[in-house]
Every structure is written in C-alpha cells, then in structure tokens.
C-alpha cells in the first residue's frame, strides 16, 4: 500500500470547475474586476436562458452603453433582470391560461 502524497496522475483538481464563459469574459475585458465580470456574465446568461432574441439582447446591451463609449455593467444587469423577469411572468401566465382551459 502506497504511503505519502498522491502522485500527480492520481490527484484530482481541487476547487470549483472552471467556468469557461467567465474565462472568456475576463480575456475580453481584463481591466474589469471579478465582480464586474460576474455581473456581465449573469446578465448575459439571464438573457440567453430566458430565450431572448438577438434583437432583445442588443436592445438590453444598448442600455448599458454610456454616451462617451464606456459600458455600465450594473445598468446592463438591471435591464437584463427586468427583461428576464418580464419574460418569465409572460411564460407563467401563458402556462396558466393553457391549464385554465377545460379538458376533454
């Protein structure tokens, strides 16, 4: 029976699995803090997970743009949360109206 520390081929990776999307965003915006990167990723994921069209995503992105060319990630996240919440309410109401229909 072996003793001592495990060999490198037997040791697993410690910690959380690496999020490739966060890595990509960090590479695109290296000057952003970890918190800002996480906010941007959350906003983008919310829009994608709720099935927003490319037009809606572009409109939400525009809400984060500043007049002088900067980007306000907090405004982008707020707009994405608002749109995602509205879509979820619409989906829920559509599901309830279908369940309200009398069955055969």
The pTM assigned to this predicted structure is 0.72
As for how many domains the chain has, the answer is 1
Measured CA to CA, the distance from residue 81 to residue 22 in angstroms comes to 19
Question: Looking at the domain assignment, is residue 7 inside a domain?
Answer: no
Question: Looking at the domain assignment, is residue 24 inside a domain?
Answer: no
Tell me which of 35-39, 55-59, 65-69, 89-93 is least confident: 89-93
Question: Looking at the domain assignment, is residue 103 inside a domain?
Answer: no
| pLDDT bracket for residue 104 (50, 70, 90) | very low
Tokens for 82, please give them.
Answer: 């608002």
Measured CA to CA, the distance from residue 78 to residue 40 in angstroms comes to 10
Range of the domain at 82: 43-98
Question: Looking at the domain assignment, is residue 20 inside a domain?
Answer: no
Question: Looking at the domain assignment, is residue 82 inside a domain?
Answer: yes
CB atoms within 10 A of CB 9: 5
Question: Looking at the domain assignment, is residue 89 inside a domain?
Answer: yes
């Amino acid at each position: 029976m072996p003793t001592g520390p495990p060999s490198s081929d037997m040791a697993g990776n410690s910690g959380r699995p690496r999020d490739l999307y966060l890595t990509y965003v960090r590479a695109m915006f290296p000057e952003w803090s970890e918190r800002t990167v996480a906010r941007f990723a959350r906003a983008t994921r919310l829009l994608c997970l709720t099935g927003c069209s490319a037009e809606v995503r572009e409109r939400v992105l525009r809400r984060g743009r500043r007049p002088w060319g900067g980007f306000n990630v907090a405004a982008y996240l707020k707009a994405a949360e608002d749109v995602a919440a509205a879509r979820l309410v619409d989906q829920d109401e559509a599901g309830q109206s279908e369940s309200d229909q009398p069955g055969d």
